[in-house]
Amino acid sequence: MLETRRGDVESAAYSRDAKRELEAHLGKISAREEKPDALARLAKTQNHEGVVLATKARRYLAQGDLAELLVRAKGTAIALDRVRNAYNIGAIVRTAAFFGVDAMILGAPAPHPGLAPDAVRVAEGGAEHVALARTTDLVDTLSRLKKRGVAIVGADGESDTDAATFRFGRPCVLVVGHEREGLGERVRGVCDAIVAIRGSGNVESLNVAVATSVLVSTMIRA
């Protein structure tokens, strides 16, 4: 974040162990050393790794800007249909950044979905390299993208279509569903295709974050 959104950082707090490494990157940003328990209170988690940044609210892409980005770049995006676990979301964001996916769409019921601090931490910096959009009506968002010529491809382990041989179009959105329920019926209905990952059959399915990694690796090479 200090490299990509420095202007959004309002202040920093850090542990004694992190002080020397962090101070070299802070410049004129207001900063202070804090004890571990104070950092945990600020971060609302023990998993702060010695650094807590106070920032301006994250900016999310408007639907029109998301469409323009994907169409102009003939790009790729991942849409999350009610994926709730922050650790899964963070891992998916990290995957998106690693493979160069252009955008992610966070889809969840109201109140408006956002990126939880734990998801940002698990993403290991990935959240600063992927454009983020959010919606409380994923079907509407996907339908609007579809009208702009964006291919919508859902993921479901029961599908007869093998993701390994499927030809992903461009621009394209890969849609992955809720950890237990999978894709919602309305979301399935707006998809141009539904693909599955073929496995040994020894276990029923993959964790959604792992499955997304496999699918994204396939999608970007198609």
Q: Residues 25, 131: one domain? A: no
Which residues span the domain enclosing 32? Answer: 6-55
pLDDT(112) > 80? no
Q: Residues 107, 149: one domain? A: yes
- Residue range 115-129: average pLDDT? 91
- Is 21 inside a domain boundary? yes
Q: Residues 124, 82: one domain? A: yes
Pairing of strands 172-177, 76-81: parallel
- Is 1 inside a domain boundary? no
**Is residue 127 within 8 Å of 115, Cβ to Cβ?**
yes
What pLDDT, on the 0 to 100 scale, is given for residue 2? 67
Q: Residues 24, 71: one domain? A: no
Tokens standing for residue 222: 């198609």
Q: Residues 98, 195: one domain? A: yes
pLDDT tens-digit profile of 22-77?
A: 877 888 888 899 998 999 888 878 878 888 888 888 889 999 999 999 999 999 99
Last residue of a domain, one of 29, 55, 81: 55
Tokens standing for residue 74: 């003939």
Handedness of CA 139, 215, 102, 147 (dihedral sign): negative
Q: Which of 209, 70, 178 is nearest to 217 (CA)?
A: 209
Percent of the chain with pLDDT over 70: 99
**Is residue 102 within 8 Å of 132, Cβ to Cβ?**
no
What pLDDT, on the 0 to 100 scale, is given for residue 186? 97
If one counts the domains in the chain, the total is 2
- Is 212 inside a domain boundary? yes
What pLDDT, on the 0 to 100 scale, is given for residue 114? 86
* Mean pLDDT taken over the chain: 92
Q: Which CATH number fits the domain that encloses residue 189?
A: 3.40.1280.10
Q: Residues 131, 153: one domain? A: yes
